[in-house]
Amino acid sequence: MQGNGGAAEFRSDIEGLRGISILLVLLFHAGLPWTPGGFIGVDVFFVISGFLITGKLWRESQAAGGLNITRFYAWRIRRLLPAALVAVGLITLIGLLLAAPLNRSEMAADGAASALSLANMRFIGSVDYFAPTSSPSPFLHFWSLSVEEQFYLVWPALILFLTWRGGGRRRVVVALLVAVLASFALSLWLTDASPARAFYLLPTRVWQLGAGGLLALLLVSGTSRRAGLIAWLGLGAILFASVVLTPEMPYPGIAALLPTLGAVALLYGGSAPSGPLRALTSAPLRFLGKISYSLYLWHWPLLVLPVLWLERALSPIEVAAAVAASIAVAWLSWRFVEQPFRYGDASRSATSWSAIRIGVAGILVVTLFTQGFSAGLAAANSTPQVPPTPSVSPSGSPATTAAPILAAIKTALNGSLRII
């Protein structure tokens, strides 16, 4: 058993667990009948995030004699914001061109809320996550990313307060345990009283993030034979939940205990040789885990945007093509957006405050772009157009022209610039 006071070590089993999580979500959103509870992959991500973030915050607070919150926020910005903002910008651009005019303002608002990490608040009163619609938002999946970003804003301040003036591990553990129990009780109550709030709100999800945090504070991993058995039970719980849970069941509520405790068990014993280490560290799962963030960003839009374009449900072959495309786009995002901003020389040499300022500026630019582009398209569509005289090609057939489309894009971009 390894304590949590030293430096963090890369755990390939956690990368594999990320791979399982994103695979479950991908299968669920693709509509495959084998995993009706694949949405629990998000719950597993919550536990992983709580485990890793709490461990990092605690180690830094102990090693440096105090927590540097600006450095933490800058690290999160470099890690998460570039890929998210690129995705929001491109999804907005493509989605607004494909969407019906009546849906464009709603889609632009969804994109702005996603850029501002408020997507969960945006969808809480208007969108049932499990209810299929004829025009689903390509930003719906940003609800969970918003929950995590809100958690990242609050959690460091809580850790800093608890460790102020030499507060020890016990004080942090007790406070975290109280937060977990209170959040779980709230989740149980709201799952019946207000299902949408129970599903989308941070306070009803803190217990899952906090469960991972408690594990990080108490111990990092177990390598004994018993730890391996616990990890196997955890993997079984996650897979069992993905098969037996359905969107029709009240959720999160008591049902969310199964994937949450399963994830805690896997984080505890996943590195034990007698556990599912070989499966978790297999090349396919580690590859999916490596690109899991970008894959989460892109898989849902690439399943939804073709529906907006075709105005019908996708065939199984088209779904398979969309899934394959999302994996390819995710790798490109990981390679050319995530990695350079995370490890590039310019990013590493920037100060924490510079990274924060650039991140805030990026959020504002993308938010204004979503609104400006929508306004520009609306202006282009409302301007009376004189039908162009069709030109004739040398073969005698009418020649197609891209002028109307280019004019609409030009007007839309002008609208964006006017708002900015």
Question: Domain limits of the chain?
Answer: 10-67+163-281, 77-148+284-382+402-420
328-360 burial: b if 16+ Cβ within 10 Å, else e: ebbbebbeebbeebbeeeebeebebeebbebbe
Phi/psi of residue 221, each to 5°?
-160, 155
pLDDT at residue 130, rounded to an integer: 87
Structure tokens at 344: 């590039």
Structure tokens at 268: 């505890």
pLDDT at residue 393, rounded to an integer: 41
pLDDT at residue 145, rounded to an integer: 97
Closest CA to 205 of 157, 246, 144: 144
Are 42 and 29 in contact by the 8 Å Cβ rule? The answer is: no
Closest CA to 213 of 19, 54, 366, 16: 54
Give the single-character DSSP code of 282: S
3-state class (DSSP) for residue 298: helix
Contacts (Cβ under 8 Å, ≥6 apart) of 304 = 136, 137, 138, 140
Q: What is the mean pLDDT of each run of 10 residues along the chain (420 residues)?
A: 49 95 97 94 98 90 78 92 96 87 83 95 88 81 97 90 76 92 97 95 97 88 82 97 96 97 94 90 96 98 93 93 98 96 74 87 91 75 53 41 42 42
Are 292 and 273 in contact by the 8 Å Cβ rule? The answer is: no
Are 202 and 150 in contact by the 8 Å Cβ rule? The answer is: yes
pLDDT at residue 327, rounded to an integer: 98
pLDDT at residue 391, rounded to an integer: 42
Beta bridge partners of 221: 2
Calpha distance 201→125 (Å, rounded): 11
The dihedral built from the CA positions of residue 179, 142, 42 and 281, taken in this order, carries a sign that is negative
Phi/psi of residue 398, each to 5°?
-60, 135
Are 190 and 197 in contact by the 8 Å Cβ rule? The answer is: yes
pLDDT at residue 407, rounded to an integer: 47
CB atoms within 10 A of CB 164: 12
